[in-house]
Structure formats: C-alpha cells, structure tokens
C-alpha cells in the first residue's frame, strides 16, 4: 500500500512539473510575460469601479495571470467573467480555486487574439508593454461601443484614457471607453 501512495504522490508531482514546463514553453512560444494584480490594487480598483453600473455585466481578462481579478469582479459586482489564458499551470490552479471557493468564472485556454468581444461590457488588461499594443489594436477595432477597458499600469500607446487613477506618485489604472 505504501508503494501505491508513493506512486500517486509521484504521479501528482510529475503532473505539476509537466504543467510548469508547458507554461515555460507557452511563455517562449507566445512571448507573453505576465504580471499579477496585487491586493492593494484590487482595493483601489473597487473604489474606481463603484461609480459604474457593473451588475449583470460581462468582463474578459486577457492573460493577466490574475484569476483573482475575475473572482473579485464576480464577488463584488456579480459580473459574468471570462478569462483567456495560455498557461496550463495557471488554468489548473484557477480551476481548483474556483471550484473550492464556489466561483463560476469561465476559463478559456486559447489565444486572446482569437477571442470574440461581442456582448462584452468590460475588458481588464494587465500585460507588459510588449504585448499591450496587440491588445490595443484588437480591442479598439472589435469591441462594441461603450465597452469599458481597464488597463493596469501600462497604458495604451495610441489612445488617450478617459480617466487616470494614481497610486502614490505614479499612474496606476487607465480607463478607456470605446
């Protein structure tokens, strides 16, 4: 029986390692550096978003590595959430957390450039500048009128934000309305 338990543990750890290696391959393949949203940022974002009518809306999160953002939107604003992610390790962890915490965020694993932006009311983006230009072009050519785009830390290159919220001395959140 001890061999069986050891085998199961080894299988589990091997699977996690495999997913981690796939994550690294995805980073290299798609050149997608990811950044996490910090808890203090979420508090600021909650204050910002309280001025919008967010109930029963749909939001997409593009590869920002923060499945906690979708749980934040679902919990605080009852939003229907969709997350685009290429990283299998993040997807696995997110699915476990969402199931355990009883969240309904929909996780989709494919390229955000193939995403459908119809009927999406809010888009949350927290990516490094190397990727954000691709996001900018897609969003502003395909999203519907009056879609609100929330960009964390790195603003769009070609468009002027509707609002800029500062944290300490630096710009933190950029709000765009299409």
What are the structural domains, with CATH classification, of the chain?
33-177 (3.40.50.150)
pLDDT classification of 28: cutoffs 50, 70, 90:
low
Using CA atoms, how far residue 145 sits from 59, 142, 148, in Å, is 14, 9, 9
pTM: 0.72
Q: For 70-97, what is each residue's pLDDT tens digit?
A: 778 888 888 777 777 766 677 777 778 7
Give residue 36's pLDDT: 61
Please report, to the nearest 10 degrees, the dihedral formed by the alpha carbons of residues 73, 68, 104, 125 taken in order.
Answer: 60
């Amino acid at each position: 029986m001890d061999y069986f338990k050891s085998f199961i543990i080894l299988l589990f750890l091997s699977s996690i390692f495999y997913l981690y290696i796939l994550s690294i391959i995805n980073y290299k393949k798609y050149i997608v550096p990811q950044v996490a949203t910090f808890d203090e940022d979420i508090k600021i974002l909650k204050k910002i978003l309280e001025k919008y009518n967010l109930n029963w809306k749909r939001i997409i999160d593009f590869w920002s590595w923060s499945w906690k953002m979708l749980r934040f939107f679902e919990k605080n604003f009852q939003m229907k959430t969709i997350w685009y992610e290429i990283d299998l390790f993040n997807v696995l962890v997110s699915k476990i957390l969402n199931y355990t915490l009883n969240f309904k965020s929909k996780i989709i694993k494919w390229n955000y450039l193939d995403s459908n932006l119809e009927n999406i009311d809010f888009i949350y983006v927290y990516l490094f500048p190397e990727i954000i230009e691709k996001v900018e072009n897609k969003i502003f050519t395909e999203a519907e009128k009056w879609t609100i785009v929330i960009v964390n830390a790195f603003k769009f290159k070609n468009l002027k934000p509707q609002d800029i919220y500062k944290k300490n001395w630096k710009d933190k959140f950029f709000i765009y309305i299409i």
